[in-house]
Amino acid sequence: GRGKETAERGMRPAGVPACLGCHGRQDRSRFYPSLAGQPERYITAQLGLFRAGKRGGTRFGHLMANAAKGLTDDDIRALAAYFSLSAAPSATGTR
């Protein structure tokens, strides 16, 4: 679906990078949390805050603010649904 495609490939015309390029890597930075299994309402709220420029965070927060600028409400809903239904990684970091 749309959320999976955006998560995996991003949306170049809108300047949205692939979410999994940072958030889905096994060797990801601790500043890039896994999104798999996060509640849909939480992801929707966080992306909305980033898009509105009202969410801070780590020194990498500006990356999310820039990425979220190109997301529509429908994009955010699709991404939130996709990640909320994705299997959360286990404590060992494997699936």
Spell out the domain ranges in the chain: 2-85
Q: How confident is the model at residue 88 (pLDDT cuts 50, 70, 90)?
A: low
* C-alpha to C-alpha distance for 87 and 73, rounded to whole angstroms: 24
* C-alpha to C-alpha distance for 33 and 22, rounded to whole angstroms: 9
Q: What is the per-residue pLDDT for 92? A: 47
CATH class of 2-85: mainly alpha
- pLDDT averaged over every residue in the chain: 89
Sequence letter at residue 60: F
Q: Name the residue with higher pLDDT: 33 or 58.
A: 33
Average pLDDT score over residue span 3-30: 93
